[in-house]
Structures are given as structure tokens and as C-alpha cells.
Structure 1
């Protein structure tokens, strides 16, 4: 059995660790709030653009664009993978890396060996370089300072490569932020873009009102999402009467790149919010584990101290009896 000094030293060590995990949980909670605000500020633009696209597509269902058609043969694929720059966020990065490797193996089984990675985040970039996979560059700054312009540059580059036939498909791998307690690992096709009206707005199911990840909050979210899905089924299709100049094809050729840019920027914001939510939950779990360990250690310390006091009393009583 460890001595009282050893138990006391371990209690002090666990207390120090608990202070760190508790502070990191509060920092992650604050950063999550800022990430939620960034998503909330982006949503009006996203909703309006989707409204316009849905209206056009419902009025002219046979419209097509160069970004919509699939290439005849799949030879080269680009994967845009989002991770974090730092660790201590549970299985957030490992899950992304695992899905990336599974996606690469899937394409290689189809005979596609020319795969290039666009790593958004230090952890995925380090893994790509370690495995010796083709890398399109370094984009670590985007995670710490998310901006729309760099996302537009990446999309512009990918769009040009797709139109030239140098890339046949582009996929996004990231965590979709649904709530503070639910982040869904997502694999989405960026190019060729899917413009069917059924897919527009399918990921607009985030809860940005709370940073709490309790069971009660999750039950509330499930009921809320079920209610929203029922309301969506009753919605009347949008079919506004637009006058389009110079022509629909030209307007869509301008709107589609904006939609692609929006998809990339949304994935970045979703990934960042998911990272902070995962770190907040991981640090809260670590703090709870430290509290439980402290209770056990304090109980063990009190038992050992009581046993030591009892032995001392017995020695005193025994000495008095002998005298």
C-alpha cells in the first residue's frame, strides 16, 4: 500500500492536471461560441443563394453547367481534408485521417492511383507528408484564422483544373457541426456539383444556440430536428418569376462558382466549430475523470491516515499496559 506522502503527492498532481483541463474546457467553450457566431453570420448569405438556385432550377430543370457534368473516365481525384492544428480534441483528427485513408483505398481499388490531397490543418498535413502522399500545399493558417478569400482561391484552382480535365472529381472530408454534442464526419462531393433541388439545404440543420452537450440538451435537439423535418415536408416549392439577363446559363456560370466557394467555406467553419466542440467535451470528460480520481485518492488517504492513527493509539495503549 502506498504511503501517506505518496498519496498526498499524487493528489496534488491530479489537482494540477484538473486545473489545466478545466481551463482548457473553458477556453474551448469560448472559441466554440465565436465559431458558432461565424457560422450564424454566414447563414443569411447561404440561405439566399440557395433560394435563388432552387428557384432557377425549379423553373428550368433541364439547365446544365460545365461544373455539373461528370467526366467520362475517372483518372485523377482531389481530396480536401479538414483537421485541426492542435491536439487534445478526442478522436477528432484520428477519425478524419481514418476516413481519408479509407477513401484513398477505395479509389485505388477502382484503379485510380492519381490522388492529390489539399490538407487544411497541421495534423492532416503532417500525416500526408509522413505517408508520402501528393500534397497540394500548406493551408494551416486557415484553421487559426478562417477567411473567405483563401477558400475562394482554392475553389478557383480546383474549378480550373476540373474544367481543363486535369481533375475528374473533388471531395471534401470534414466534420459537420450539428450541435455542441454532435459532430458528423462527412464525405461530400464538391465537383462535379450536385444541383438537384433535393440536396439544397440538406446540411442546414445546425443548432447554434447552446454550448451544452448534456443528455437533456441532446433530447431537445432530437425533438427540434424532428419538428423541422416535418415542417420542411409541408413547405411549398419556391418558383419565383425571374427575368434573367443576359441569359440563364451566364447567370448560373457566375452563381455556381459562388456556391462552390460557399461549400468550401462552410466546410471550414463546420470543421473549426466541431474541433472546439470535440475539445470542450474531451476536456470536460478529463475533468470529470480527475474529480472521480480525486475522490478515490482522498478516500484512500483518509483510510490510510485513520489506520496510522489507530496503530499509534494501539502502541500507546499497549505501552501503558506494559508499564
Structure 2
């Protein structure tokens, strides 16, 4: 009987856990749908802005923006996007692993010349474990991407680049592909390499006012800020997708475990009833 009670308690415990994982799955799924709508609206805007940059820059040899300059890397800034919470599979671990890999490739610069901007407590914890100091606390904005926060951080990086305090900026984040697929991306943020797409040409009948150089001067900071915001929103969308998948798997596993425990409970209960009947029958024969 003690074993039956133990199995019954386990079944109740698993069912309670299943209710929690199921609720978390539904919450993550709702947040994912909202983030997906935002990223779907932002992607075309960000891509068209960059295409304008490519087309304009490729047709104006005299444009000399400091954001286009490639110089020897003596000091680098790395921005890594993760989350504040877990229960999202390997979402945070993948970012931490990629960050370690990128840092290792720049070890020759010295620890003091590798500036880390961790967006999210999980990656900030990984930064501390590697013996680095974060350039700021961005946990408050990790799960709530906004253009204003992206503008501030991107603006700071741009100013440092213009002053020569850093020579390169890289971003590490998850790119959302589908609900079940998110890819870790490591891409340059600064300097910009405005290469014209293959097969594209700037149409000569376009009228550009006041002039291409003036437009590019205003367009480049806008593009960089939008790109930073897009990366953050992409990361958060991927986080919700990863958590939805992880909680769905946990819920399904809990359902399977409940079925196994219920089957075991019924077998033991049937065996216990059979033993009691045998004892009754045996006692009846003994009394005769």
C-alpha cells in the first residue's frame, strides 16, 4: 500500500508540473505571435533602408563617411542578446557559447580591449564567469525591446567609433526563422560595408534631393539604429519561440510520464486486490 501511495503522489506532482508548463507554453505562444507581427513589419523597412544605402553609396565615389572606414582592430565592442530567464532550451547557452568563441578569436587584443555589452541576465552571468566586466546593466530592457533603448545603445557605440575609441562592433543574437528554428548570428555592426546587390543598378532617372551625400549623412545613423533594434526584436522573438517549444516538449513528456505511472499504479492495485482475494479464499479453506 505504501508503494501505491507513493506512485499516486508522483502522479499528482507530475500533473501539477504539467499544468505549469502548459500555462507557460500558452503565455510564450501569445508573446511569440505579438513579436512575430512586429518583426514581420520591421524586416521590410530595415532591408529597404539598407538597400537604399547600398544603391546610393555605390553611385557616389566622393562620399567619405567615417562609418565606412575599415581600420586595424585594436579595440572591439561585442553586443550579445540573450534573456533574463531560462526554461527556453539552449537559447541562452547558444549565445554564451558563441560569445566565448568570438572572444577567443580576439584574445590577442587583450582583455582590456574587448568591451562586452550583454543584453540579458543570462549572458551577463556568462560574461562574469569569463572574468570580464559588462559595460552596463541592460537587464531591464532585455525582454522589452524598444527603439528608444536601441537608439541610446547604438548611439553610444557610434560615438565611440567616431572618436576612435573602438575599431569594430559585432552583434551576436538569434535570428528567428520558424517556431522551431532559430539561428545564432554573429555579424558586424560597424564599420558598414555598403555593397550593391548583384544584378542591381542605380536607376539614372532617379531624382535625389538635396543630394546623395546629404541624404547618406542622415540615412546612415538611422540605418544603424534600426539594425540594432531589429537584432534585439529578432532575439526576443526567437526567445519566445524557443520557450514555446521547450514548454511544449515538457508538457508532452509530463503527459507520457503520467500515463506510465498510471499504468504502473493500476497494475500494482490489481495485484494488491488479487492478493487480498487469495488471502480470503485461503482463509475460507483453512476454516473448513
Quote how far apart the aligned CAs of 1:61 are.
6.8
Correspondence 1:308 to 2:237: no
Correspondence 1:288 to 2:220: no
Give the total of aligned pairs.
285
Show CA shifts across 1:89-120 (max 9, x none): 11111111111111111110x44431011111
Q: 1:54–1:238: 8 Å Cα contact kept in structure 2?
A: no
Relative to structure 2, which stretch is displaced further, 302-311 or 137-146?
137-146
Q: 2:172–2:186: 8 Å Cα contact kept in structure 1?
A: yes
Residues 74 and 2 of structure 1: CA distance in aligned 2, closer, same or farther (over 3 Å): farther
Alpha-carbon RMSD across the aligned residues, in angstroms, is: 2.0
Correspondence 1:267 to 2:266: no
Runs of 5+ unmatched residues, structure 2: none
Quote how far apart the aligned CAs of 1:165 are.
1.1
Distance 1:82 1:136 in 2: 14
Partner of 1:93 in structure 2? 92
TM-score for both structures, normalised by structure 1: 0.83
Q: 1:115–1:134: 8 Å Cα contact kept in structure 2?
A: no
Q: Secondary structure at the match of 2:170?
A: strand
Q: Secondary structure at the match of 1:250?
A: helix
Q: Give runs of aligned pairs for residues 205-284 of structure 1, distance below 5 A.
A: 237=200, 239-240=202-203, 241-284=205-248
Runs of 5+ unmatched residues, structure 1: 199-232
Partner of 2:55 in structure 1? 55
Partner of 1:177 in structure 2? 176
Quote how far apart the aligned CAs of 1:160 are.
1.3
Show CA shifts across 1:156-190 (max 9, x none): 11111111111011000000111111100110100
Correspondence 1:193 to 2:192: yes
Distance 2:10 2:78 in 1: 46
Show CA shifts across 1:128-160 (max 9, x none): 234431321111222232110111111111111
Partner of 2:41 in structure 1? 41
Partner of 1:225 in structure 2? none
Distance 2:62 2:181 in 1: 37
Quote how far apart the aligned CAs of 1:66 are.
1.3
Show CA shifts across 1:215-241 (max 9, x none): xxxxxxxxxxxxxxxxxx9xx635333
Distance 2:69 2:104 in 1: 25
